[in-house]
Amino acid sequence: MSSRDVDVLVAGGGGFIGGHLVADLLKQGLSVRAVDIKPQSEWYQVHPDAENAVADLSLRDNAFTHTAGAREVYMLAADMGGMGFIENNKAACMLTVLTSTHMLEAAREHDVERYFYSSSACVYAADKQTDPSVTALKESDAYPALPEDGYGWEKLFSERMARHFLEDFGLQTRVARYHNVYGPQGTWTGGREKAPAATCRKIAEAVVSGNHEIDIWGDGEQTRSFMYVDDCVKGSQMVLRGDSSIPVNVGSSELISINDLYSMVEEFAGITCKRNYQLDAPQGVRGRNSDNTLIQEIYGWEPSITLKEGMEKTYRWVYDQVKKSRG
């Protein structure tokens, strides 16, 4: 690995959000080091202009080695996926705490100027998310703590750790709570994909196969908001560069039911499918939406790309992947 200094280290740079973030940072003329545990052949995007490294950042030595010389750090690295993965891999999700811990220690050791931690709406108390007509979640709703088991607990703990590294050591930590990020160049099959990509894949497969019948997890009445990846990339940089260390929602406030999400994608595809509801499948909380009052107050901004616009781009991309995969 080159020992030269870089403007930005993106931990998890081979991931879905990481790939888009690296692209945007390079476009700004910044020097970027992207590090990911996956072999490069499995990275969602590989940018030749970045310094790309394969390493397990949960190992302390690797975290220290790859953080050396970085001015800013985006800590996106995590073992995660959609609801099916999260509900069935709680221990694996909790073990990300090693990456979170070692990256904070490394950032402190190497005098990193700014450290961004990507948290999640999964930190919010489950008892506030029991109704599809959910009241949008404010940042204060994370306490008293009752987050998503496994993944949510790790995120909330690591948020606190980032806060204490700021208070005790002066490391300038910033925290964003992502709400359901989606878009092209992401996971669309294999079990770790989230609802928007899974929806696009099922409809695309129905188009390609001619079998207009799909399975939906739950009764389809559960609600979510989904943020297009370009808004996520913009919001993350805004939070990193901002003056506020308060964890803030970075998510769309456009609420939709899963049934309506399928109807939207069916419209793009020009088909209607028979729906088989799998009531015993993982479906997470009943309703979740982002209250954007705080991000508007602090940054004068909120994610604005409409679900229809983002989902249409995502569907076109996923459709192409489905076609390619079928030869």
> Taking CA 142 as the corner, what is the angle to CA 140 and CA 147, rounded to the nearest 5 degrees?
170
Q: Say how far apart CA 19 and CA 34 lie, in whole Å.
A: 9
Q: Please list the active-site residues.
A: 151
Mean pLDDT of 210-218: 94
Mean pLDDT rounded to a whole number for the chain: 94
Q: How confident is the model at residue 1 (pLDDT cuts 50, 70, 90)?
A: very low
Contacts of 17 (CB under 8 A, 6+ apart): 76, 118, 178, 181, 229, 232, 233, 236
**pTM of the full predicted structure?**
0.94
If pLDDT is split at 50, 70 and 90, which confidence band does 4 have? low
pLDDT digits (tens, 9 = 90+) for 17-64: 999 999 999 999 999 999 999 999 999 999 999 999 999 999 999 999
H helix intervals, 74-215 = 83-88, 90-94, 96-109, 151-169, 195-209
> pLDDT tens digit string along 218-272?
999 999 999 999 999 999 999 999 999 999 999 999 999 999 999 999 999 999 9
- What does the pLDDT average to over 117-122? 96
Q: Place 2 in a pLDDT band, splitting at 50, 70 and 90.
A: very low
Alpha helix positions (H), the chain = 16-27, 60-67, 83-88, 90-94, 96-109, 151-169, 195-209, 229-241, 258-269, 293-299, 307-325
